[in-house]
Structure formats: structure tokens, C-alpha cells
Amino acid sequence: MKIATWNVNSVKARLPNVTGWLAAARPDVLLLQEIKCETAAFPAAAFADLGYNAAVLGQKSYNGVAILSTAPIEDLREGLPGDPDDPQARYIEATVRGVRLASIYLPNGNPVGTEKYPYKLRWMERLRAHAQSLLNLAVPVVLGGDYNVIPEPRDVYAPQQWAEDALFRIETRRAFRTIVNLGYTDAFRAVNPDQQRAFTFWDYQAGAWPRDLGLRIDHFLLSPQAADRLQDCRIDRAPRGEEKASDHTPVILDLLD
């Protein structure tokens, strides 16, 4: 089972990039983040033409997540539990071929001195609580997406420059670690424990892409049942180098059937 995650930074603006990549890579499931459109405006027909069903949680101009799948999408959950008043479209979850999947767009949290950072930490605590409950299902669970978390110094081109950024502050990394420590596996690091400069995001500014000034902030966390099926996890850098590219690039997970 081939599962990919990709923050596309506006699905409408990048539609030719996304459909072109799908036609070539043919994942069974693609988790999308930052689609930046309302649910009804999602270009589902373009993906249906490629053989993909779509489950979408959208929001006008901001955020938004989706699941595309060649198989039926079942038992849909829209939104992260824990705060019924949270209006931001950042979490969608469903079952595909017996695997419980979530597409996650975790808050950025910057600037740190504003309400955005406490919101990020509260959201991460809600995710931790829900991730713990998912383990009780005793089925393979795959939590994929843009976590806006740099887990370790080697996951950013210049750690010292990012020390006080919301993506790398110690509180952020600790919160991420509490989720992993429930029993989840960082799929990429399990397969590539020593790989350096393994980035998934390059800013549009300051020549970050050609200079390879990147971050690893897009992750797959696997429950024990999913980790037992882990075959490979890799970063596909090619889409970041295309015209009108997203500032993120896809991460691909292979699970044994």
C-alpha cells in the first residue's frame, strides 16, 4: 500500500502539478494539506478522472485538508476532537483498506509572542490525546501530514537560526515527542536513520530551494500495527523543482499488504 502526504499550498493553484504527479506516482492514497479552498470548491472531478475518491474538509482561503484514495474512503471523521469551537480545517481521518489514516495540518505557531503559539501547543495536546485513543483500535494507524515541527537539529539547515522559531522551540519538540512516545514510529527516520539534509520544505525566499536551505516538517507517524508493515519511506524532491511548485514536496510511505 503506497501512501503519500503533500502540503500543496493551494490545490487550485497547483492543480496541474498535483494531477501530473498523481498520474506518474500513482499512490493508493494521497493526504493533502493546505488546500486553501472550501469543501464545495475542491476540484474533485479532476481527481476522479484519475481514479481517486476524495474526502475533503475545506476552509475559505486558508488551511484545509483532504484524503484522495483509489479505494473506498470509509468511517470519515472531520476535525480533531477536543475543541468543538475550533473553526480551523486542519484534520481529517478515515479508513482505507483497513488502515486508519489522518491528514494533518498542524498549526505553524508563529509569531511565538502571539496567541498563535499557545494555540499550536493546545492543538498538539489534543492530537496527543486523540493519537492515544487511536491506539486502542488495534488496527494500523497512519498519521501523515505537515506537522510544522522540526524534530531534531539535523532536520533543519541551520539549527541555531531556528532556536526560537515555533517549529523548533523546545516546547514544540517535546510536544511532538510525547506523541511519538505513545508508541508511534517516525517512518522516515526508521528507514533512514542516518540520512542528512533530508528536507521536505524550502521557503520561496532567499534562494532556499537552489541552496538546499530546507526543513523536514512533513512526517508519517505509524502505530505499532502500521510500523510492522513498514517497507519504505522516502522524500520525492522532484516536484519542488517544477514551475509553480508548492514550497513542500511529497513524502511517500510504503506498507506491506
**Residue 101: pLDDT band with limits 50, 70, 90:** very high
Q: Specify the DSSP class assigned to residue 160.
A: G
**Residue 47: pLDDT band with limits 50, 70, 90:** very high
Residue 191 buriedness (CB in 10 A; 0-12 / 13-18 / 19+): middle
What are the start-end ranges of the H helices in the chain? Answer: 15-25, 44-48, 116-135, 170-180, 187-191, 224-227
CA atoms within 13 A on the CB side of 194: 0
* Amino acid 206: pLDDT: 87
Q: Specify the DSSP class assigned to residue 153.
A: G
Q: Is 226 helix (H, G, I), strand (E, B) or coil?
A: helix
Q: For the chain, list the domains and their CATH numbers.
A: 2-255 (3.60.10.10)
Which distant-in-sequence residues (6+ apart) come within 8 Å of 87 by Cβ?
59
Q: What is the pTM of this model?
A: 0.98
- The C-alpha cell that represents 137 in the structure block: 483500535
Closest CA to 4 of 250, 257, 256, 202: 250
* Amino acid 43: pLDDT: 98
Q: Is 135 helix (H, G, I), strand (E, B) or coil?
A: helix
